[in-house]
Amino acid sequence: MAAPTLKYEGCNFFRQRLILATLSGKSVKISKIRHKEDDPGIRDFEASLIRLLDKVTNGSRIEVNETGTSVLFVPGLLSGGSIEHECHVQRSIGYYLEALVCLAPFGKKPMKAVLRGVTNDQTDPSVDIIKNVTFPLLRRFGIDEGLEMKVNRRGAPPLGGGEVLFKCPVRRKLRPMQFTNPGKIKRIRGVAYGMRVSPAAPNRMVDAARGVLNKFLPDIYIYTDHMRGPQSGKSPGFGMSLVAETTEGTFLSAELASNKPGEEPTVPEDLGKQVASLLLEEIYRGGCVDSRQQSLALLLMTLGETDVSKIQMGPLSPYTIQFLRHIRDFFQLMFKIEVDKSTSNDDMDQAERLGGDKVLLTCVGVGFTNINKTIL
């Protein structure tokens, strides 16, 4: 007997719902998508996401009504393999990569994806953050050998022109994880990039960021990546991503990109200071994963073996809170959430406590098995 179709309304968390539907094998119907707006229905970047999901699955059925305000998605089996995809420039490649990162380990074949579009923008995680923060998190769950990403070309909005190669191995099962001690910050690494702008712009951002961060930590290295010619995409732009690493292997990140051409010009020094401040704020929030990686960590814990997984996080983002509700809908699994008492001890000094109260999230994995992976 087929499982009943899950029904939702509105455009919020559209990608989240399609990803969980694909992994759980449950059909999902999303209606009233921007139905009250002058331009109703799904946007071009959401249609591009649907096409991408169709490429990485085998046998999916997708029905979109004439106005685009209703989408029925009946997922097929994850196939993986080699794909190429033109990402819509309304969202960066990171928007689509986040979806592939969730799905690729459970395909029939290891994934090799070439994505083209915008590599760095102000909305989605850049390819740098996914490589330097998301990948270490995947390795904690046993997704390691064969995991690779290469930036062939960078592309800034609005025209993009970037290209990224993403490779991911397949796994039959994920190992459970106990990660409750984030450790102390030991070093900061980063990249300042520029496309079709003066080579001095990345250096100016680095100097400004170091002016803030050197008061906090001496071990800082930010390298510059100034793309030229065909590798610099079709639009000018610059930006910076920073990653703080702890003694226990926690990675906390922050990033910013310049405004699009035609908008108010961005000053490199101001952007460098802002990114440094955002990183310090992320460090203050604390936890074993940064706020952008919370939902991925919870998903991998959910799909792990039927054993206890536990993780400490800083304050949960609204996106993560909704993600927990969706995990309950698609996998009938609920997390135990409690305030981590060890971080609210009055006897600890401020440096040890680092930020406000943290939360501990505990679950027993559903024992998800990749039935597509051939048993050798």
Domain of residue 53, CATH code = 3.30.110
Please count the structural domains in the chain: 2
Q: Note the pTM of the prediction, 2 decimals.
A: 0.93
Is residue 216 included in any domain, yes or no? yes
Token output for 285: 């929030």
Token output for 335: 């997390």
Q: Print pLDDT tens along the chain (376 aa).
A: 466 899 999 999 999 999 999 999 999 999 999 999 999 999 999 999 999 999 999 999 999 999 999 999 999 999 989 999 999 999 999 999 999 999 999 999 999 999 999 999 999 999 999 999 999 999 999 998 889 999 999 999 999 999 999 999 999 899 999 999 999 999 999 999 999 999 999 999 999 999 999 998 999 999 999 888 888 889 999 999 999 999 999 999 999 999 988 889 999 999 999 999 999 999 999 899 999 999 999 999 999 999 999 999 999 999 999 999 999 999 999 999 999 877 655 545 444 555 667 999 999 999 888 776 554 4
Domain boundary among 47, 78, 109: 78
Domain boundary among 285, 309, 338: 285
Is residue 318 included in any domain, yes or no? no
Domain boundary among 78, 98, 119: 78
Supply the pLDDT for residue 229: 84
Is residue 364 included in any domain, yes or no? no
Supply the pLDDT for residue 372: 65
Q: Which domain holds residue 31?
A: 1-78
Point out which residues pair with 227 in neighbouring strands.
195
Is residue 309 included in any domain, yes or no? no
3-state secondary structure the chain: CCCCCEEEECCCCHHHHHHHHHHHCCCEEEECCCCCCCCCCCCHHHHHHHHHHHHHEECCEEEECCCCCCEEEECCEECEEEEEEECCCCCCHHHHHHHHHHHHHHCCEEEEEEEEECCCCCCCCCHHHHHHHHHHHHHHCCCCCCCEEEEEECCECCCECEEEEEEECCCCCCCCCEECCCCCEEEEEEEEEEECCCCHHHHHHHHHHHHHHCCCCCCEEEEEEEECHHHHCCCCEEEEEEEEEECCCCEEEEEEECCCCCCCCCCHHHHHHHHHHHHHHHHHHCECCCCCCHHHHHHHHHCCCCCEEEEEECCCCHHHHHHHHHHHHHHCCCCEEEECHHHCCCCCCHHHHCCCCCEEEEEECCCCCCCCCCCC
Is residue 52 included in any domain, yes or no? yes
Is residue 54 included in any domain, yes or no? yes
All residues at 6 or more sequence positions from 37 whose CB lies less than 8 Å from its CB, including other chains: none
Is residue 303 included in any domain, yes or no? no
Provide the CATH number for the domain around residue 254.
Answer: 3.30.360.20
All residues at 6 or more sequence positions from 43 whose CB lies less than 8 Å from its CB, including other chains: 90
Is residue 192 included in any domain, yes or no? yes
Supply the pLDDT for residue 355: 65
Supply the pLDDT for residue 357: 79
